[in-house]
Amino acid sequence: ANPGRGLPRSIHIIVLNDPDTAKPLAIMSGNLVSAMRTGAVAGVGAKHLARKGSEIVGLIGGGVINKACLRAIVSAVPNIKKCLLFELIPERAKAFVQDLEEELKIQIECTSTEKEVLKQSDIVSYASAGAKKPVICEDLLKEGVLVTVTAGVEMSDSFLLNSKIVVDNIKMHLAYLHEKDEHPDGYKRVLNLPSGPLLKLIVEEKICSSEIS
């Protein structure tokens, strides 16, 4: 699909088959299921890794994925009272607040800069799908903040090397490294993945995969 016309960047399909004959019974959009699955990872991470007493969630990006992330985080962390949202498209930011503020019973405040989000938040979720990747400015983050990443971001080597890194499935991410030998974009393909900055450090032997939980 052409994102320039406001259509989704990708379409996920779920096919329901008869268990005996394998005959297709239904072909359905899987975008919502895919989004909830992705958001659930941020929720599980927040449940086990967020600092005790965390009250403020910061979101970079106000699309479908961060909606799912916020739902999961609020469900997993009972003390959440406020959400700060940075979204470049005003209409999308307004719709985000209208959709979730009443549902989740928390205050959702839109900010004009990423800086406002990073300085105040106990948990930060990056899920921005724009052409230009957001940059994690570690100097602005609170000490002990949990940062979850479900889309491509730019982050410094020092940020990764000085952080505790937890991934959903390290074997899957390491398998991406093999794509660089088969994909026409080679190493660039790996760097463009959400885990690209981490894989770069592994390739450069600045970090060992066994050190990642």
* Greatest alpha-carbon span in the chain: 58
Helices 90-104 and 64-76 meet at what angle, rounded to 10? 30
d(CA 94, CA 98): 6
Residue whose C-alpha is closest to residue 64's, from 4, 138, 10: 10
pTM of the model: 0.84
Each residue's pLDDT, cut to its tens digit, for the chain (213 residues) gives 333 334 445 677 889 999 999 999 999 888 888 889 999 999 999 999 999 999 999 999 999 999 999 999 999 999 999 999 999 999 999 999 999 999 999 999 999 999 999 999 999 999 987 656 788 999 999 999 999 998 888 899 999 999 999 998 888 888 887 777 777 776 677 777 778 888 888 888 898 877 777
